[in-house]
A and B are shown apart, each in its own frame.
Chain A
Amino acid sequence: MSAFWRLHALIRKEIQALLGDPHGRKLLIAPIIMQLILFPFAATMEVKNVSIVVLNEDEGEHGAELLKRIAASTAFSDFVTVQDDDEFATTIDRQRALLGVKIAPDFSDSVERQQPATLQVVTDGRKSNASQIALGYVQSIVGTYAQELSGAAALPLTVRHFYNPNLDYKWFMVPQLIGIATALGFLVVTALSVAREREQGTLDQLRVSPLSPLQIMTGKALPAIVIAMAQGTIILIGAVAVYRVPLNGSVAAIYIGMVCYGLSQVGWGLLISSFCRTQQQAVLGVFSYLVPSLLLSGFISPVENMPGWLQIGTSLNPMRHFVELMNMAYLKGITLDAFVAAAVPMLLIAALSLSLAYFKFRTVRE
Chain B
Amino acid sequence: MSTATPFKAYGFSWSRVIALCRKETFQILRDPSSILIAFVLPAVLLFIFGYGVNLDGTRTALGLVVQDDSPAARDFAAALTAAQAFEIREVYSVKEADAALLDSKIRGYIVIPVDFGRNLARRMPPGVFVGTDAAEPNSATLVAGNVQGVWNLWQQQWAAEHRTTAMARLEIESRSWYNPSAESRNFLIPGSIVIIMTILGALLTALVVAREWERGTMEALLAAQVTRVEILLSKLIPYYALAIFAMVTCMVVAVGIMGVPFRGSLAVLLLVSTLFLGGTLGMGLLISTVTRNQFNAAQTALNLGYMPAVMLSGFVYEIASMPKWVQAVSYALPARYFMSSLQTLFQAGVIWSALWANLAFLALATVVFIGLTLHKTRESLE
Contacts and interface: CB of A to CB of B under 8 A. Distances in A.
Given A27-B296, A139-B172, A291-B199, A49 B321 contact: yes
Nearest to B305: A287
A44 to B, nearest CB: 6
B173 A295 contact: no
B225 interface: no
A44 B132 contact: no
B317 A43 contact: yes
Contacts of A123: 174-177, 182
Interface residues of A, number: 118
Interface string B33-58: 10011000100110011011111111
B321 A279 contact: no
A327 B104 contact: yes
B173 A121 contact: yes
A139 B171 CA distance: 9
Interface stretch (A112-120, A205-213, A220-228, A256-264): A112-120
A126 B326 contact: no
Contacts of A199: 294
Contact of B148 (A98, A157, A162, A302): A157
Interface of A: 21, 23-24, 27, 31, 35, 38-39, 41-51, 90, 92-95, 98, 111, 114-132, 135-136, 138-140, 142-143, 145-147, 149-152, 154-165, 167-169, 171-172, 180-181, 184, 188, 192-193, 196, 199, 279-284, 286-288, 290-292, 294-296, 300-302, 304-307, 310, 314, 324, 327-328, 330-333, 335, 337-338
Given A126-B343, A126-B347, 6 more contacts: A49-B321, A120-B175, A151-B165, A164-B140, A165-B134, A305-B58
A135 B175 CA distance: 10
B186 interface: yes
Interface stretch (B122-130, B250-258, B363-371): B122-130
B234 interface: no
A290 B52 contact: no
B174 A159 contact: no
A93 B172 contact: no
B307 A39 contact: yes
A13 to B, nearest CB: 15
Chain B binding surface, main DSSP class: helix
A279 B298 contact: yes
A164 B144 CA distance: 14
A28 to B, nearest CB: 8
A355 to B, nearest CB: 25
Contact of B54 (A126, A139, A281, A306): A306
B216 interface: no
30 contacts: A95-B340, A95-B354, A120-B172, A125-B187, A126-B347, A128-B176, A128-B183, A129-B55, A143-B170, A155-B120, A155-B123, A155-B126, A159-B132, A159-B147, A162-B131, A164-B134, A164-B135, A164-B140, A165-B134, A181-B307, A184-B303, A188-B298, A192-B298, A192-B299, A283-B203, A295-B52, A295-B53, A302-B139, A310-B52, A330-B135
A330 B136 CA distance: 12
A301 B124 CA distance: 39
The 3 A-B residue pairs with the shortest CB-CB distance in the complex, in nearest-first order: A125-B179, A164-B134, A161-B134
A128 B136 contact: no
A50 B327 CA distance: 13
Interface stretch (B17-25, B63-71, B151-159): B151-159
Contact of B314 (A92, A121, A127): A127
A331 B208 CA distance: 45
A31 B177 contact: no
Contacts of A283: 203, 207, 298, 301-302
B344 A126 contact: yes
B296 A158 contact: no
A120 B174 CA distance: 6
Given A35-B307, A48-B321, A169-B137, A292 B172 contact: no
Contact of B170 (A90, A111, A162): A111
A300 B53 contact: yes
B11 interface: no
Interface in B78-128: 101-104, 120, 123-128
B178 A124 contact: yes
Contact of B166 (A119, A150, A286): A150
Contacts of A42: 311-312, 317, 322, 326, 330
Contacts of B199: 287, 291
B169 interface: yes
B179 A128 contact: yes
Contacts of A165: 134
Contact of B132 (A162, A193, A332): A162
Contacts of A122: 174-177
B130 A172 contact: no
A294 B310 contact: yes
Contact of B303 (A27, A92, A172): A27
A274 B346 CA distance: 40
A41 B187 contact: no
Given A159-B130, A281-B33, A125 B303 contact: no
Nearest to A294: B310
